[in-house]
Structure 1
Amino acid sequence: MLFRRSLRTSAAVLALLLPFAAACGGDAEAESSSDVSSVTLRAGATGWKVEEAVLKFARLDDTPYKVKWSVFQGGDQQLQAVRAGALDVASSSEIPPIFAAADGRPNFKVVAVQRGSTLNQEVVVPKGSAVTDIAGLKGKKIGYVQNTTAHYFLYELLKQAGLKWSDVDAKPLLPNDGLAALNGGSIDAFASYGTSIITAHQQGARTVGSGADILSGNFLWSARDSVLKSPAQKSAVADLVARITKAYAYVRDGHEAEFAKVIAENTHQPLAQARKDLVAQQKQRPTVARTVGDDAVASQQKVADVFTELGALKDHLDVKSFWTTDLNADLRKAL
């Protein structure tokens, strides 16, 4: 079945990453000076390299350090790569770090918060489906991207509709597998985000539930502990996060139409739709980085408690244990 294949795929990803981590991890950990010119950051991106693209678009990609971007289907896989030592810094929603730290032995810390849009976070049904709302999914097979925003907002939407998680047949699927399952008829609905939702709509899918008002809009930057031990790597991470904020400010300053072309080329959607989505996203919640504060930690704690309630976490998790303010001073300076 597709959902079983998705779990095998995650394992395969880690198997492939481990040799790479062994080959590259030593150089990253050896860096201890404050000179960023010798730093190479291995950074994660979800769906496509939007961060790299926006930096290039705003002509802010001329970093004094090197950045190697790797694409993953979800933030959960990025955190798996951090745990495996194959990434130095990951960008994700609030959820992946929770599960990456659930064993009590995380090798990373959340170092910054990026406020972002919660649009295109939806539960969709295929063309021709008789289902019109979340309540109509009782007893149905629903695919969802496990340990991500999709997992969280699907659970919350079910509660709002008076349903329990056990009232549906929930199947963990990666975004690409979920789209194939939705179109192939092996699931009745799919909870996902980003490019997969855009593609689903292009293929005729309809929205029956949205996470837009459920999710906080906090997207987290997590860095390996070894990165935080290096002044140069810390400085590079802070600079990279700040550059992305500045790049989006440039986009909002009258350049939405031009950047929409870049988005359309990479997501294979009509230019008009790409521009409409971009404008809506930046209007809803402009992409801006923030330093770590108590409010962000509290927001993630609320999410972790929901997963404990759901039973996805066996025990209570104190999220403060994997947050740090170590990057705050560098990030303030860079911003």
Structure 2
Amino acid sequence: MLFRRSLRASAAALALLLPFAAACGGDASADSSSDVSSVTLKVGDTGWKVSEAVLKYAHLDDTPYKVKWNLFQGGDLQLQAMRAGALDLASSSEIPPIFSAADGKPNFKVVAVQRGTTLNQEVIVPKGSKVTDIAGLKGKKVGYVQNTTAHYFLYELLKRAGLTWSDIDAKPLLPNDGLAALNGGSIDAFASYGTSVITAHQQGATTVGSGADILSGNFLWSARDSVLKSPAQRAAAADLIARISKAYAYVRDGHEDGFAKVTAEATHQPVAQAKSDLVAAQKQRPTQARTVGADTIASQQKVADAFTELGALKKHLDVKSFWTTALNSDLKKAL
């Protein structure tokens, strides 16, 4: 409580703590349709619930609505859960919504973009491997996380190396399964991201290819259609997305050490390494939400076209059909 009072003493820190007015208190009560107090959002998170963790660390988890966090190994599984009606908000790269909407009957819309780091998006080989570059993967068994960033950057890296998808024996695997397969010798390389890559390096794996400069850094927030029909749920969703941005701003504002400790405990790596990764990630591309724009839609269209070229999509997909600016106004206020 002393810490919270000290934050309130600073105008700059106060701005970090305040959700937008319509979501908490006076203005919201004037319009019952925007009263978020009865809202419960079922929200997806990937890896080690980093979004939930950063909110707690920045003391921004005291939302005037309820949040039920659900952990998944990848954004693709979040979108599957959303299609099944089990999530209200899903966070993912640009890829999962493409495949989730490919049947032309999505029950969601992309409502916001969270700019984020593309580090730790790599093709790795186990300790002792003789493979030193992507060209060396020809004829090899290569694991990848299907319908995710790993699928996309592996395809693009192969093209740059003069190889095609058919030049490798591609094996779709979940992150944890792929890591086990890599260590067990049943695959020669693995294209993955996040914690699985960090863990692999701790176990002696080396990098032969990176998606850092291939990926856009656009990570998408998708909302179920039922959320968009409710002013209160829209307000809550915008507030939560903005809070995550503000929490990362708090971390960057001289609080890296503490969050590095939180990260290290969750990922089982040395604190010094966790801080180094955190600082590098925020330097490369500070985590920050932004509203939907023509450029963000165009970025995802480029990715969808690549999957059509690969044959993973059976026909051209017009991605703007599942984007909306319905959250733009609320999100601008919240940010």
TM-score calculated relative to the size of structure 2: 0.90
Distance 1:48 1:228 in 2: 27
Structure 2 match to 1:142: 142
Distance 2:243 2:114 in 1: 12
Structure 1 match to 2:307: 307
How far the C-alpha of 1:163 sits from its partner, in A, is: 0.2
Structure 2 match to 1:48: 48
Supply the AA of the counterpart residue of 1:210.
S
Distance 1:38 1:171 in 2: 45
How far the C-alpha of 1:303 sits from its partner, in A, is: 0.1
Larger CA deviation: 138-147 vs 264-273: 264-273
How many residues matched?
304
Distance 1:87 1:269 in 2: 31
Structure 2 match to 1:34: 34
Q: Tell me if 1:58 matches 2:84.
A: no
Structure-to-structure mapping, 1:193-272, within 5 angstroms: 193-272=193-272
5+ residue gaps, structure 1:
1-31
How far the C-alpha of 1:115 sits from its partner, in A, is: 0.2
How far the C-alpha of 1:80 sits from its partner, in A, is: 0.2
Tell me the secondary structure at the aligned position of residue 269 of structure 2: coil
Structure 2 match to 1:125: 125
Structure 2 match to 1:161: 161
* CA deviation profile, 1:148-182 (whole Å, cap 9, x unmatched): 00000000000000000000000000000000000
Identity %: 86
Structure 1 match to 2:294: 294
Distance 1:56 1:116 in 2: 19
Supply the AA of the counterpart residue of 1:312.
A
Structure 2 match to 1:280: 280
Distance 2:295 2:34 in 1: 31
Distance 1:101 1:163 in 2: 29
Supply the AA of the counterpart residue of 1:271.
V
Supply the AA of the counterpart residue of 1:203.
Q
Structure-to-structure mapping, 1:167-206, within 5 angstroms: 167-206=167-206
Structure 1 match to 2:317: 317
Tell me the secondary structure at the aligned position of residue 215 of structure 2: coil
Supply the AA of the counterpart residue of 1:303.
V
Supply the AA of the counterpart residue of 2:40.
T
Moved over 3 A (4+): none
* CA deviation profile, 1:109-161 (whole Å, cap 9, x unmatched): 00000000000000000000000000000000000000000000000000000
RMSD of the alignment, in Å?
0.6
Tell me the secondary structure at the aligned position of residue 41 of structure 1: strand
Distance 2:270 2:57 in 1: 19
Supply the AA of the counterpart residue of 1:82.
M
Tell me the secondary structure at the aligned position of residue 34 of structure 2: coil
Distance 1:302 1:169 in 2: 25
Supply the AA of the counterpart residue of 2:116.
G
Supply the AA of the counterpart residue of 2:289.
A
How far the C-alpha of 1:201 sits from its partner, in A, is: 0.3
Structure 1 match to 2:72: 72
Distance 1:296 1:241 in 2: 17
Distance 1:253 1:162 in 2: 44
How far the C-alpha of 1:34 sits from its partner, in A, is: 1.5
Tell me the secondary structure at the aligned position of residue 33 of structure 2: coil
Distance 2:315 2:286 in 1: 35
Distance 2:284 2:42 in 1: 30
Supply the AA of the counterpart residue of 1:286.
P
Distance 2:100 2:303 in 1: 14
Structure-to-structure mapping, 1:96-115, within 5 angstroms: 96-115=96-115
TM-score calculated relative to the size of structure 1: 0.90
Tell me the secondary structure at the aligned position of residue 33 of structure 1: helix
How far the C-alpha of 1:33 sits from its partner, in A, is: 2.7
Supply the AA of the counterpart residue of 1:43.
V
Distance 2:33 2:225 in 1: 16
Distance 1:235 1:90 in 2: 16
Distance 2:316 2:279 in 1: 39
